[in-house]
Chains A and B, each alone.
Chain A
Amino acid sequence: MNAPNSNRHPLDKYIDEKLEQLNIEFDPSGWQSVQNMMKSHVEIANPNNSSTFSKFISLKSIAIFTVSALILSLLMYQLIGEKPNGNINTNQNKSNPSLDENTIDSSNQYNKKDQKINSVPSTIPTLKNKEILSKFNNQVPLVVDSTQIFDDIEKYVKIDSFQDLILKDSTKFKKKKHIIW
């Protein structure tokens, strides 16, 4: 680029002179926009420098938060463990003296459950149960002598083999009394 010399076209010189006479006033708002552009440029160019303090705070806060969360979770775990419901002890050794009253022995619980489960199939009435039930129901059990039944059978059915069988086992049945509901 060369500076316009004195041999310039007269029209060029005239126009240049006229344009130099343009009345322009200083606008301070332009400087504000330049400053804003500069600030944004600095932030983009050096993101670490611009937000060092805030970054430090954020890292610090994150660290504090994680540590406090860990401590809180441990404390909560401890507090829950000291509740009257007691700890859950999976130890199956019932004779362990260290187990206090509050501790729940899971093995014991399971044993109790087993007992309950075993008691459920006893829907088929046993003699003992029937006696107990009869007490509650105030019913007199029907006493049947089995020897009498067999004597009656012998009267009507006379089969040798059957008779032999009955003779052999009659001694067993004679003294037994079966209760039939």
Chain B
Amino acid sequence: MIISSHILIGCKKQDPKSQEQLYKFCYIPFMKLAHRYTQNEDDAKDVINKSFFKILTKINTFEGDENNFYAWCKTILIHESLDHIKSTAFRQSFNTTEPKEEDSFIFAESDFTTESEQILFYLRHLPVTTATVFNLFALEGYSHKEIAALIGINEGNSKWHLHSAREKLQNWIFKNKVK
């Protein structure tokens, strides 16, 4: 995704119209991303608003062009999402390596209107660290080294969490499809 240069220039000049255009342009992809890191829609909106606040207030520190402006905004959103995870009660389970015993639950297909919602539900039911590592590695393309530095775990632990996430998600999706 590339944000047009006039929006970038306008935002750097603190033009309200350009700022609103940027918000409208980024809202839906950012909401999709924020949903992966948060437990509900309200938290996702909160993360997005805080991220936009940071983007618009720190836009003058951005030295790139329109080609990498979206990636810069996305990085801010991911960092804000991680801050949100740390600030919520879920941080308590951040350091625990013991996953929740939820392997046995099977969801009725009628509970979800779309398959996307079902996948999101599975992702939200993963342990917080496991889900975060999966999101960062599998969906955002971060390396284990980067993940270890970001969330304060070692690389081996990050690999274990990724393996655990894949195993659980595959199991839940397969069980639900068989049913």
Point out residues on A near B: beta carbons under 8 Å: 1-5, 8-9, 11-12, 15-16, 18-24, 26-27, 30-31, 33-35, 37-38, 41
Partner of A26 from B16, B24, B142, B173 at Cβ < 8 Å: B24
List, in ascending order, chain B residues with CB within 8 A of A31's CB.
20, 23-24
Q: A30-B48, A34-B52 are contacts. A22–B116 as well, Cβ < 8 Å?
A: yes
Taking the closest CB of chain A, its distance from the CB of B130, in whole angstroms, is: 13
Point out residues on B near A: beta carbons under 8 Å: 16, 19-20, 23-24, 27-28, 31-32, 35-36, 45, 48-49, 52-53, 56-57, 71, 75, 114-117, 119-120, 123, 134, 138-143, 146, 166, 169-170, 173
List, in ascending order, chain B residues with CB within 8 A of A24's CB.
28, 31-32, 35
Chain A, residue nearest B52 (CB) = A34
The 10 closest A-B pairs by CB, nearest first: A12-B138, A18-B119, A2-B141, A4-B141, A21-B116, A24-B31, A37-B53, A22-B116, A18-B116, A34-B52
List, in ascending order, chain A residues with CB within 8 A of B116's CB.
18-23
List, in ascending order, chain B residues with CB within 8 A of A35's CB.
16
Taking the closest CB of chain B, its distance from the CB of A56, in whole angstroms, is: 24
Are B119 and A33 in contact, with the CB atoms below 8 A?
A: no
Are A11 and B49 in contact, with the CB atoms below 8 A?
A: no
Are B120 and A38 in contact, with the CB atoms below 8 A?
A: no
Are B119 and A38 in contact, with the CB atoms below 8 A?
A: no
CA distance A35 to B16 in the complex (A): 9
Are B169 and A15 in contact, with the CB atoms below 8 A?
A: yes
